[in-house]
Amino acid sequence: MNRLPIRFGQCGDTFHNWRLRVQTTGHTLVLTTFVIAALGGCKQPSSGPSSTLVDQFFAEYNNPRSPGCSVAISRNGAIVYEHGYGMADLEWNIPITPTTVMGAASISKQFTAMSILLLAQSGKLSLDDDLSKYVPDWADHEHHVTLRHLLTHTSGLREGFTLLGVAGQSQSNEAMERMLARQHGMNTPAGTEFVYNNGAYNLLGSIVKRVSGQSLRDFAEANIFRALSMSHTQFRDDAALLTSNRAAGYTADEHGVHANPEAVVVGNSGLYTTPHDLLLWENNFENPRVGTPDLLAEMQKPAVLNNGKPTEYGIGLFLLNYRGQRTVEHSGGGSGISANLIRYPDQKLAIALQCNSDAINPIVLTKKIADLYLADVLTKLPPQPTPVRPTLSAADLSSVAGLYRGVSDKDPSDLRVSVGDGKWIGHSFFRDGSDFELNPVDARHARGPAGVRMLEFIPAGPGHPRAVHVKGPAGEADFELTAYNPQPAELRPFEGQYWSDELQALYTVLARDSGLMLQLPGQAPIPLQPFERDAFLGLGILTFIRDAHGAVTELILDHSSVRKLTFRRMRPVQ
């Protein structure tokens, strides 16, 4: 005899005391199928705006040819609406329902943070402990990075996932710990700057295991998920782990929609769950069952930098504002995953959204839902003028194209402006190596992507080359046109093998008639683009260092997330 839990009434309301006994025969399959089918189509009556209005936001995904989303909404701790749109599996024609399990990506961080806080609460660690206490062979004993620094993204550590990538190593929690433990260099001193760092949270996941004696998956299950009845939630730390009702993840590109393989790192990511379960977690902040009220308040307190300036991040949570209302939130994104979890604490509204496509913007969708439910309290948006895209001539567009170098002493940086499809395209190897659109305002100004408000293109004048002035929320920066064009003979001194103790990796630099090539272990050679004297663009900005006699002795890699990574020259390539 088996006991099957049956859901009654509204979607997602599980009455665990109601059970139906059935024989383990063919009838069990029939009954189970019936229950699943009933759940797939059900919607909760909405307390507030019409559910039809919410459904409209997802209409483009709600068809049998598209991946989609699952959404749940709660007011005053009670779920008032949940529904699925689109397909969980395009090959098997399985629709998304409220019980479909999907990856939550970086939403995972708050559960990793809670695990660390629970260990601190039980006296097994302190948030102000130095990392060297918990990570064997931690090499950097100078900068004193603490667990609190990791939790608040103020550690200043190099980004571990970037380090694994430039070392040509596969991703795992074990590989991450070894990589970070070897680092002597920092991006910035601990506590001086907020810089989002996935590797830091991956390391926290490993620390949970070392301190508790349980994997993060087992610890979170025993201490968080079970206590909150989050029965569809787990950290997925094994690719062979069976997960019921799990959706496939999809990426869309110019060639169509493709299924994505799933990573199995945990701490920064790795949580698989449902919006329904995420709202059970959100309710815990108002009605604590896991963690004390003081502990939960600590998670929602802005971290403060060494200079006394508060950040917009607590412990595993962003503390922001939307149209005049406080929000506690975190989004998540990865290959085949996009998600957002947001709570409006003053209005007791929470929205959980998970999608099995990385082409869907979950933040925009949750804002639209908030606009419906909080229309009476949100600050009115000013009228938005219809954007008018100026018509620029080919000469206007090409007049600012070129490669520019940053003139700041703080960090090396690059900006390439090119022309494509009648518009400007930006590119920076120092940032992330991807293209971004620059929207023209006129022939001398363009709006950039997030983090860049305006670019001003400055023509060459007496004593200065063509330049770009960039304004953004973090400040201003200037770039000047560079025109480094070395001849083949000038490239040969750079040839050689370069070793990094911190990466435990050997780079090979090859000089060809077509230019320099960089070869990483087990990978095809990467062409390097001339940038300025002795500097080239590829994985980031690669700068060759010469001794007093002019001989090349070192190679320095600079990237926004990995700065001043040093390789020493071993010997020329024969």
Q: By residue range, what is the domain housing residue 512?
A: 488-571
pLDDT at 572: 62
pLDDT at 5 over 80: no
Burial code (b: 16+ CB inside 10 Å, e: under 16) for 162-183 equals bbbbbbebeebbebbbbbbbbb
**76 inside domain:** no
pLDDT at 10 over 70: no
Instruction: Return the closest-CA partner of residue 95 out of 356, 359, 361, 362.
Output: 356
Amino acid 321 reads N
Confidence at 143, pLDDT banded by 50, 70, 90? confident
Predicted TM-score of the model (pTM): 0.88
**85 inside domain:** no
What percentage of the chain carries pLDDT values higher than 70?
91
Distance, CA of 414 to CA of 388 (rounded, Å): 29
Distance, CA of 518 to CA of 525 (rounded, Å): 5
**What mean pLDDT, rounded, does the chain reach?**
89
Q: Which helix (H) or strand (E) holds 178?
A: helix 173-182
* pLDDT, tens only, 310-347: 999 999 999 999 999 999 999 999 999 999 999 999 99
Question: What is the bridge-based pairing of β-strands 102-103 and 94-95?
Answer: unpaired
Q: HSE (CB half, 13 Å, CA atoms) of 497?
A: 8
Torsions phi, psi for 353 (to 5 deg): -140, 130
pLDDT at 382: 83
Clarify whether residues 362 and 398 are in a common domain.
Answer: no
pLDDT at 56 over 60: yes
pLDDT at 255: 80
Q: Name the packing angle between helices 198-212 and 109-121 (round to 10°).
A: 40
pLDDT at 512 over 70: yes
CB-CB contact of 323 with 381 (8 Å): yes
Q: Average of pLDDT values for 159-175?
A: 94
Lowest mean pLDDT among 32-41, 219-228, 353-362: 32-41
For residue 284, give the CATH number of its domain.
3.40.710.10
Q: Average of pLDDT values for 546-550?
A: 95
Rg from Cα positions in the chain? 26
More confident residue, 220 or 386: 220
pLDDT at 15: 29
pLDDT at 45: 44
For residue 565, give the CATH number of its domain.
2.40.128.50
Clarify whether residues 202 and 323 are in a common domain.
Answer: yes
CB neighbour list of residue 533: distance below 8 Å, 6 or more residues apart: 484
User: Where does a domain end: 434, 449, 481?
Assistant: 481
Clarify whether residues 224 and 288 are in a common domain.
Answer: yes
pLDDT at 75 over 80: yes
pLDDT at 195 over 70: yes
Say whether 175 sits in a helix, a strand or coil.
Answer: helix
Structural domain count, the chain: 4
Confidence at 254, pLDDT banded by 50, 70, 90? confident
**53 inside domain:** no
User: Where does a domain end: 446, 466, 481?
Assistant: 481
Q: Average of pLDDT values for 34-44?
A: 37
pLDDT at 40: 37
Instruction: Return the closest-CA partner of residue 300 out of 257, 343, 335.
Output: 343
pLDDT at 28: 32
**Nearest-5° angle of CA 29, CA 30, CA 35?**
95
